[in-house]
Structure 1
Amino acid sequence: MPLPMFCLLQKALLLALLCLLAWLPGAAAAQQRILEKAYWTDTSGSATFEQARAAVYTPYSDVLSKGFSRHVQWVRLRIAPLPAEDGDALVLRLRPVYIDQVTLFDPVLLAQGQAPASVGDRTPWESNQFESLNHNLLIPAQTLERYIWLRLQTTSTQLLHAEALTPREMLREEHTLWLVYSALLALIMSFLLWVLMVWLRDRDPVNGVFVIRQMVLLIYTACFLGYHRILLADWVTPAAQDTVYNWLVLFTTGLSVAFEYRFVMEYRMPRASRWLLRALLVWSLLAMALMVLGQTRQSLQTNMLLNGVAVLCMLAVSLRLKRPQASAAHGASYQLPPAVVCGYYVAVLLLLVLNVLPSLGLLSGTLYTVYGVLLYGVVSGFFMTALLIVRSRKAEALRQDTANRLYLSQQQLELETQRRQDQSQLINMLMHELKTPLSVIDLAVKTRERDERTEAYVTRAIDNMKAILQRCVQTDRMVESPFQPAMEALDLTPHLRQWLLDARLPDQRLVLHLPDRAPLSTDAQCVQIIVGNLLDNAIKFGAADQAIEVRLERAEHPTAAWRLQVANVPGPGGRPDAQKIFSKFYRHAAAQRISGTGLGLYLCDGLARQIGATLAYHPTDTHVVFELCLPI
């Protein structure tokens, strides 16, 4: 992960935690108005208020945590006296939101003839006497200590956090709570968007599963905080809302297990570990099956057990993880070090202990117990988002490296293929071109009488063989080891006259149009080879009874240069193909009977580029014209 992005994630998490810490002092102050908390378990579930009032209560602190019990819990709260200047009422705020029903029994209200009031996720949101995301009830304030009783009945885990606040304190607390909740939801949303953007780029299945899980977790978190009760109050009944929330709990856990399963399956692990992970998926399906059968409490309890057992299993599995061996399947992917994965599961385990054990009734609850799921969602989301982004960056680098290696391999393969084709064409050309000179030499050896004519044939055959081999050597040197041209100042006109004289052409076949002087800076040897090949080409493939024109003139546009043109009337071989004329081993079909390598013009074009010149083919209606443009 780039350092700026990682720092941004750190700051976002720190902001959320600061909001949470800023809210906790207010929650602690609210507890000062409740002097004592105690509970009594109604095993029959049918005790009256008078029976509950006379029962023996067990004191507890902070949060009541009785696990998934079928029994009804009665909670007795001793309320501190409230000075007259602080108002005449107190608001009881009850959390978490998912408890089914809490009924208030206040002797003062009962004496006034008011019936017991109930709140919970099975009651309409309007039943709350103070508009809030949480359940709340109003009780009259007294100048003396007194007791009130709450009757708790729920199919979910029996967690209850009760607070007493004045209306002003409640309003301030709610504003703070809204800010904290908004920050947490924004943080979870940011994790979702970051990984979603990464997934849109690389389509990594692990990132895709995380995005789905994070979407469900975001919806679940909003419902856990109570937003759904406000948003759906006018359209969905409380019972339906409760059912939807229960299924969200199951889906969130199931998708979390599925994500962790998909995440670690890219590593090597013992077969037993794979079966253990699959058993966790089956466990999640079992919890859903119980919900379908109407066993809500058993389903939620099974799901809560899965939360604890799954983290322990994932931690145990991570201790045996090994990175996959390099292969075609994993060549472009990246797996985090197993030690990092193990550290992640240790952190998740420590977080869930605060929520799972109290939810099962195995540990006393605290305020963090109520919000343990949120803490898990934020912290685990932060770490997993960071890990997945690091993983995606590394995987992208590996894919890029693999693509570069593949490209280089393809280039090398193409070069090797081209080299083999060139070798094959060279061998075929040599066999074709050397066959005739060798036949002439063989015939001369077998001839008993040797005269000047025979010696001339042999000499010409040897010259042809030398020319063929020399052209092959020159081409190979140009292709395999590009040279540094030896640029020098010279007058091209006398050099051209000497090179044309060396060609030994009859005067009537050569028509020259040369200036008196043609000063320039170039590589004389390269220009000589080019001119020699152009003349040789004109002699071989031009009409034998027509003149060859050589013209040298100065041009000023587009840049100052000397233009050397060699023109001839086409011979029996016809005109060359303009698209292929400078290709290696190209020879016109009608010119196959004429001795040649097919390398001359290819060599000329390459040498021209080496010295900064250009060689072009500009045919006219009557002539084949090659033009060499030499910069001055």
Structure 2
Amino acid sequence: MLRYLAAWMALFLGCFMGMSTALAQDHIVERSWAEDPAGQWSWSDARKQTTQPFEGTLNRGYGTGVLWLRLRIDPQAGEVMGGTDADLQDLVLRIRPAYLDDVQLFDPLAPDGHAGTVGDRHHPRLDPLPGSDFLWPISRGDAPRDIWLRLQSTSTRQIHVAVLPPRELALRVLQWNIVTSLYIGAVMVLLLWACLGFVLRRDVLMGWFALMNITACLFGLTSLGFMRGFWPIAWSAEALNLLGSFASVLVVGAGVAFHARFLREFRPAPWAMGLLDALLLLVLVNLVLVAWGNVSWALQSNMVTILLAPPICLLCAITGRVWADSPEGSKVPALTRKVLVTFYLGFLTIFALSSTTGLGWLPATEWTIYVSQVHTLVISLLLMLVLQYRAFKLDQQRQQTQLALKTTTLAVAHERQLREEQEKLLAMLAHEIKTPLATMHLRLDGQAKGVKEIRDAMRDMNGVIDRCLQALQLGDGRLSARFQTVDLVDVVRSAWSASAQPANVQLNVPKALPVETDPQLLFIVLSNLLDNAGKYAKPQTTIELACALEHDRQMPQASQTPQAVRVTVANVPGKAGWPDPTHVFDKYYRSPQAKRQSGTGLGLYLAQHLVQALGGQLSYVPDDEVVRFVVTLPLNRVA
């Protein structure tokens, strides 16, 4: 498709430039102009003025003054292509472009000198000759003479005039119709491509590109005069004139909207994006001006928009932050900064040529009359290439993402399978180990030597197995809290009595303390804290287990109400010393000195996560004398 569009574009430009050269030969041998700022001159007044010569095309940009063109016609000039005698007697004046408002012809051979009026403020069905351009039959005459054109227009005052025999004109019009048909066809192909991309890819940016080409097609049909051939006689000429003005503003507005949507993907600096958004507001103002009849102001402002849009878009491309802000390994934009900035440099160059020509800042040639249509087609073609490359890169990223997702899914499934097998193995081992341990515990002779040490070792083994099973249940979410109102003191006493050394534990609790919690999970927490304290406390020292209410210290003392309960487990450290505060709750963490004792490094890890499940907090708050763990639980659970 890209090859076909490139060939189409080359054919269009080749035919266009070839036509420009061919059309330079006509019966006009001298051209000059003068400007009437107030628009009060008559034909007689204009003939008295000093005129300035020009070649080919006159370009005076925007303005309110009336232009008078003096054209010297030589009936013997140019080349005659043969034909009938009538061809040698008639000539046709061809005036372009087709969006000029009002053009009056004054010919000495016409009755009263005034030959007639054409322009897009006059209905095309009333023109002397039908066509996409303004065509005017004039007498050949026997000797060279001057004819005058009075031009008044709210759009840019560019005008190209040629005087040709009918047969040669017919050939040139045929060639021109082929070229303009290629232009409209190329725009329609781009529009179809954008619509297909929007429908198939669900890409919003392609939808904006399609909208831009819809307005480009409407602009081409009106500015090239195609709408003149289809405009019904019942519809007013002013409506056709307004349609052309609206199309000129809409094509710019759609282009700015597309680039604003496109550049947002690259996260430009807010101030640069704000300037682009301001241009969109200016387009809305221009549309309102056209609707109110201030067409000249609207079209001049529209040309300013064309001048400002490319440098602002370039600033947005340069200040894009998406490349710097994207974390390593994350999804990167489809276009690099270099590609984006290079495109907008070309965009700036093309639009600068178009706008400065329309404003009359550069010398005009015949083809510059249609520079707006040419640059619209070129920009659309370049945008198609950029969007096609973007779509290609996005497809690559999508494929990579799908591949990574598939790999991750397989890895997760494999990990789940391994985990299930580990759980089954651990559950089987726990059952196979705990059963003989229970049998050995029952068969032990209470009077035998070392029985106490054996029972302590068996208790430690049971504790290791229980913690491993609880860690698996916690990871699978099977240890979930089931809240109910219980007496916290009863839970504390149960954990105390079930500890390995209850005699070494100093209990400091009130008579009763109702709290809403899960007694089973809280029992596991306190058991793990007491077991940890019993293993690593200094021998012959007391472990403190206390619980008390905690008040809101931000409230006045007289109105303080208990908000939570604190359970504290403290012990004097033994040879293992104080644990590392940064790793004390890490899974499998054990200090180097603590490895002399049996353990899994899961006790504090389990305790912290279970307290969080209960809506509380487990803190490690040591001082210079003791290792202290504090469990803070709310009295009432917040739904």
RMSD: 2.6
Mapped to 1, the partners of 2:435 and 2:257 lie a distance apart of 78
Shift of 1:304: 0.9
Shift of 1:255: 1.0
Question: Which segment is superposed worse, 302-311 or 166-175?
Answer: 302-311
Paired residue for 2:266? 267
Question: Does residue 1:81 correspond to 2:81, yes or no?
Answer: no
Paired residue for 2:566? none
Within 5 Å, which residues of 2 pair with 1:87-102?
87-102=88-103
Mapped to 2, the partners of 1:257 and 1:73 lie a distance apart of 33
Equivalent position SS for 2:34:
strand
Equivalent position SS for 2:98:
coil
Within 5 Å, which residues of 2 pair with 1:493-512?
none
Within 5 Å, which residues of 2 pair with 1:548-587?
none
* 2:38 aligned residue (26, 39, 44): 44
Mapped to 1, the partners of 2:372 and 2:428 lie a distance apart of 80
Mapped to 2, the partners of 1:201 and 1:332 lie a distance apart of 22
Shift of 1:102: 0.4
Within 5 Å, which residues of 2 pair with 1:343-492?
343-433=342-432, 435-436=434-435
Amino acid at match of 1:98: Y
Equivalent position SS for 1:46:
coil
Mapped to 2, the partners of 1:192 and 1:301 lie a distance apart of 28
Within 5 Å, which residues of 2 pair with 1:270-309?
270-309=269-308
Count of paired positions: 440
Shift of 1:180: 0.4
Paired residue for 1:192? 191
Mapped to 1, the partners of 2:362 and 2:182 lie a distance apart of 29
Q: Render the CA deviation track for 1:350-403: whole Å, top value 9, x for unaligned.
A: 333443223223222212221101111111111110010100110111022112
Shift of 1:325: 4.4
Q: Render the CA deviation track for 1:485-528: whole Å, top value 9, x for unaligned.
A: xxxxxxxxxxxxxxxxxxxxxxxxxxxxxxxxxxxxxxxxxxxx
Mapped to 1, the partners of 2:126 and 2:235 lie a distance apart of 15
Paired residue for 1:475? none
Within 5 Å, which residues of 2 pair with 1:22-421?
22-30=18-26, 33-82=27-76, 87-110=88-111, 113=112, 115-325=114-324, 327=326, 334-421=333-420
Shift of 1:328: 9.2
Amino acid at match of 1:105: F
* 2:13 aligned residue (9, 17, 29): 17
Within 5 Å, which residues of 2 pair with 1:528-543?
none
Mapped to 1, the partners of 2:142 and 2:342 lie a distance apart of 54
Q: Render the CA deviation track for 1:269-312: whole Å, top value 9, x for unaligned.
A: 33332222222222222222322332111111110111112223
Q: Render the CA deviation track for 1:391-430: whole Å, top value 9, x for unaligned.
A: 0110111022112212222322232223222222222233
Shift of 1:75: 0.7
Amino acid at match of 2:12: A
Question: Which segment is superposed worse, 81-90 or 421-430?
Answer: 81-90
Amino acid at match of 2:100: I
Mapped to 2, the partners of 1:330 and 1:430 lie a distance apart of 42
**1:106–1:330 distance in 2 versus 1, CA, 3 Å:** farther
Mapped to 2, the partners of 1:44 and 1:135 lie a distance apart of 25
Mapped to 1, the partners of 2:395 and 2:222 lie a distance apart of 36
**1:381–1:299 distance in 2 versus 1, CA, 3 Å:** same
Alpha carbons 1:355, 1:370 under 8 Å: kept: no
Shift of 1:262: 1.6
Mapped to 2, the partners of 1:132 and 1:413 lie a distance apart of 71
Alpha carbons 2:257, 2:280 under 8 Å: kept: yes
Mapped to 2, the partners of 1:213 and 1:390 lie a distance apart of 19
Equivalent position SS for 1:90:
strand
Equivalent position SS for 1:91:
strand
Question: Which segment is superposed worse, 34-43 or 424-433?
Answer: 424-433
**1:201–1:348 distance in 2 versus 1, CA, 3 Å:** same
Alpha carbons 1:67, 1:158 under 8 Å: kept: yes
Shift of 1:45: 1.1
Amino acid at match of 1:260: H
Equivalent position SS for 2:24:
helix
Alpha carbons 2:24, 2:56 under 8 Å: kept: no
Amino acid at match of 1:77: L
Structure 1: 5+ residue runs without aligned partners? 449-632
Alpha carbons 2:222, 2:243 under 8 Å: kept: no
Shift of 1:333: 6.4
Mapped to 2, the partners of 1:283 and 1:447 lie a distance apart of 97
Question: Which segment is superposed worse, 233-242 or 313-322?
Answer: 313-322
Shift of 1:440: 6.3
Amino acid at match of 1:107: P
**1:161–1:100 distance in 2 versus 1, CA, 3 Å:** same
Mapped to 2, the partners of 1:146 and 1:317 lie a distance apart of 56
Mapped to 1, the partners of 2:183 and 2:400 lie a distance apart of 38
Equivalent position SS for 2:266:
coil
Equivalent position SS for 1:233:
coil
Mapped to 2, the partners of 1:191 and 1:440 lie a distance apart of 85
Question: Which segment is superposed worse, 277-286 or 173-182?
Answer: 277-286
**1:101–1:379 distance in 2 versus 1, CA, 3 Å:** same
**1:331–1:247 distance in 2 versus 1, CA, 3 Å:** farther
**How much identity, in percent, do the aligned residues show?**
29
What is the TM-score normalised by the length of structure 1?
Answer: 0.65
Amino acid at match of 2:381: F
Question: Does residue 1:8 correspond to 2:36, yes or no?
Answer: no
Amino acid at match of 2:183: L
Equivalent position SS for 1:18:
helix
Equivalent position SS for 1:415:
helix
Alpha carbons 2:269, 2:321 under 8 Å: kept: no
**1:36–1:165 distance in 2 versus 1, CA, 3 Å:** same
Amino acid at match of 1:197: L
Q: Render the CA deviation track for 1:234-277: whole Å, top value 9, x for unaligned.
A: 35211111111111111111111111122222224333322222
Mapped to 1, the partners of 2:280 and 2:146 lie a distance apart of 47
Equivalent position SS for 2:33:
strand
Question: Which segment is superposed worse, 274-283 or 328-337?
Answer: 328-337
Mapped to 2, the partners of 1:172 and 1:9 lie a distance apart of 26
Amino acid at match of 1:412: A
Shift of 1:334: 3.2
Paired residue for 1:623? none
Alpha carbons 2:89, 2:141 under 8 Å: kept: yes
Structure 1 stretches of 4+ moved >6 Å = 440-448
Alpha carbons 2:106, 2:113 under 8 Å: kept: no
Mapped to 2, the partners of 1:430 and 1:275 lie a distance apart of 67
**1:443–1:44 distance in 2 versus 1, CA, 3 Å:** closer
**1:431–1:346 distance in 2 versus 1, CA, 3 Å:** closer
What is the TM-score normalised by the length of structure 2?
Answer: 0.64
